[in-house]
Amino acid sequence: MGNMSSMTLTFADAVATARAALAEAVASPTPAHELRHAISELESLARHVYSVQAQLIRQADHDDLARTTGARNTATWLQDALNINPGQARGRVEIATADTGLAKQALADGAIGVEHAQVITTCLRKLPRSASGEAVRVETVLTEQARRCRPWDLRQLAEGINAGFDRQTALADERAQHESRELHYVTSGDGTVQIKARLDKETGQKFIAALRPLSKPCPAHDGRPDPRTPGQRHADGLATLVDLALGAEGMPGVGGQRVQIQVAVDYDDLMRSLDPDAIGIAPGTFGNGVPISTDNVRRLACDAGILPVVLGGDGAALDYGREQRTAPPQLRAALYRRDGVCAFPGCEHPPGTSQAHHIVEWFHGGETSLTNMVMLCAHHHRIVHSDRWTIAITDGRAVFTPPRRIDPTRTPRVDDAPRPGAHRQLIKEVIPRQRTARLDD
């Protein structure tokens, strides 16, 4: 017992000495050119401390200390002792009790972190018995890689190694992922929809691949970086994915009809909403009664799979929408040839995902024609409507004029990036013209 008290005192003294030394070091400002080195040295020290802690956890597990305190196992005992999450506690116990000499030494040297060590120990634990003779080689490879890559990348390598040694278990894990798939959505009282999903790795990779190009940052209207948060950009990307799905030829219909969302709006309210200062305007409503402002009804009517139902004063339908309000395939192809991507200055939204916007609004008599339409991504489509930018087509290019509150001078802006139509014209100018064939040639 005396020896244990002495050991505890020794560790207490060591920790107190380290704390005092660090407090003294940080008391005075660290020169800027030394900050990177100082931060790295502290990380190395922290990793070494974790390796020492692992030795003590291993001793506690060997002595079955958890049972003497009433805990179920060493992990639950450690969870309570350190006030950490169950996963963290299990991971530290796994590192402490694993026979991973190389990984533990690298952790003690400060060359790898706790997360690295946990990935390595998990990989070795999952190796089948038939691969036990390869454990040292696997640990060597993973430890070397851990010195130069992040834990996430190391985990992908480790999972690949496990899959290579145990194909059936890897397949079972992927089946389990698929079985655990789920997606839930609920409509809140204000009409917003909350989504919670868990996707298997195959579907998840498809989702990421589809969402990533649709949620890239777009420049703000004043040239500054995209003001949206990553979460907002991802939500906008999902909105574009939904638009693409609703407009896809292979989208299943309902009752033999193409899927469409109806929104009813009063004609008088719709016309009066063209005045930004008008008040007392009733919103439109979706088919399930969820209200939406008339300003957004006008935007949705451009090209978003929305079927507007315009009502008269007596509530009777005056117009169920006209097919020509949306750009037909041949017109959309012409818009792509002219604009290529979102036409808003500086935006490079990928082709095939933009929306066709009516310059003179369809509800206000605007034609669905090449001279009255321009391609906009969902983000800039909303910006143009909400901030009331004006657009004109000049020499085959869209010219955007901001409202006075954004730019008091209302200086017109045009994207200088070459568009497909301009590229084609340059090619025609550069290549030599074909000679007229002579009959005597």
* pLDDT tens, position by position, 21-63: 999 988 889 899 899 999 999 999 999 999 999 999 999 999 9
CB distance 338 to 420 below 8 Å = yes
Above pLDDT 70, what percent of the chain? 77
Question: Residue 439 pLDDT more than 60?
Answer: no
pLDDT of residue 432: 58
Categorize the per-residue pLDDT at 376 as very low, low, confident or very high, splitting at 50, 70 and 90: confident
Is the CB of residue 419 less than 8 Å from the CB of residue 393?
Answer: no
3-class SS letters over 268-309: HHHHHCCCCCCCCCCCEEECCCCEECHHHHHHHHHHCCEEEE
Residue-wise pLDDT for 338-363, tens only, equals 776 788 887 767 655 567 788 887 66
Q: Is residue 239 part of a domain?
A: yes
Residue 153 within a domain: yes
Task: Report the sign of the C-alpha dihedral through residues 69, 75, 78, 84, in that order.
Answer: negative
Q: Rounded distance, CA 42 to CA 79, Å?
A: 25
* Best-predicted range by mean pLDDT (43-52, 258-267, 309-318, 372-381): 43-52
Angstrom distance (rounded) from CA 55 to CA 287: 65
Structure-block tokens of residue 69 = 């305190």
Q: Output the pLDDT for position 397.
A: 81
Report residue 399: phi and psi, to 5°. Answer: -110, 125
Q: Is residue 437 part of a domain?
A: no
Q: What tens digit of pLDDT does each residue of 154-164 get? A: 998 998 898 88
pLDDT band at 435 (very low <50, low <70, confident <90, very high): very low
pLDDT in tens, 322-344: 444 566 666 766 777 677 678 88
- How far the first Cα of the chain sits from its last, in Å, is 112
Asked if residue 242 and residue 132 are part of one domain, the reply reads: no
Nearest-angstrom CA–CA distance, 298 and 363: 7
- Looking at the structure, tell me whether residues 78 and 188 fall in a common domain: no
Q: Is 37 exposed, middle or buried (0-12, 13-18, 19+ CB in 10 A)?
A: exposed
Give 236-254 pLDDT, tens digit per residue: 899 888 877 876 777 776 5
* Range 115-138 average pLDDT: 91
Please tell me the total count of domains within the chain. 3
Position 227 scores a pLDDT of: 84
The whole-chain average pLDDT of the chain stands at 81
* Pair 333, 418 in one domain: yes
Shared domain check, 128 and 188: no
Domain boundary among 177, 206, 237: 177
Q: Domain span at residue 144?
A: 40-177
For residue 35, is it within any domain? Answer: no
Residue at 253 is within a domain? no
Asked if pLDDT for residue 305 goes beyond 50, the answer is yes
Closest of 368, 371, 378, 383 to residue 413, by C-alpha: 383
pLDDT band at 13 (very low <50, low <70, confident <90, very high): confident
The backbone torsions φ and ψ at residue 77, rounded to the nearest 5 degrees and listed phi first, read -65, -45
Residue type, 24: E
Closest CA to 289 of 382, 190, 185, 184: 190
pLDDT tier at 279, thresholds 50, 70, 90: confident
Q: Which of 126-130, 138-142, 364-368, 423-427 has the lowest mean pLDDT?
A: 423-427
Residue 21 lies in a domain: no
Whether residue 344 is found in the same domain as residue 199: no
pLDDT score at 311: 66
On whether both 172 and 188 belong to a single domain, the answer is no
H/E/C letters for each residue in the chain?
CHHHHHHHHHHHHHHHHHHHHHHHHHHCCCCHHHHHHHHHHHHHHHHHHHHHHHHHHHHHHHCCHHHHCCCCCHHHHHHHHHCCCHHHHHHHHHHHHCCCHHHHHHHHCCCCCHHHHHHHHHHHHHCCHHHHHHHHHHHHHHHHHHCCCCHHHHHHHHHHHHHHHCHHHHHHHHHHHHHCCEEEEEECCCCCEEEEEECCHHHHHHHHHHHHHHCCCCCCCCCCCCCCCHHHHHHHHHHHHHHHHHHCCCCCCECCECCCEEEEEEHHHHHHCCCCCCCCCCCEEECCCCEECHHHHHHHHHHCCEEEEEECCCCCEEECCCHHHCCCHHHHHHHHHHHCCCCCCCCCCCCCCCEEEECCCHHHCCCCCHHHEEEECHHHHHHHHHHCCEEEEECCEEEEECCCCCCCCCCCECCCCCCHHHHHHHHHHHCCCCCCCCCCC
My answer on whether 204 and 150 are in the same domain is no
Domain co-membership, 114 together with 236: no
Average pLDDT over residues 60-75: 92
In a domain, 268, yes or no: yes
pLDDT cut 90: percent of the chain above it: 31
Instruction: For residues 115 and 139, state if they share a domain.
Output: yes
Say if residue 424 is in the same domain as residue 357. yes
For residue 340, give Cα distances in angstroms to 55, 111, 175, 427.
62, 49, 41, 16
Tokens of 143: 């430890």
Considering the domain architecture, whether residues 425 and 333 belong to the same structural domain is answered as yes
Q: CA–CA separation, 387 vs 276, rounded Å?
A: 10
- Is residue 127 situated within a structural domain? yes
Same domain, 235 and 283: no
Per-residue pLDDT, averaged over 287-315, amounts to 69
Distance CA 282, CA 272 (A): 10
Amino acid in position 83: N
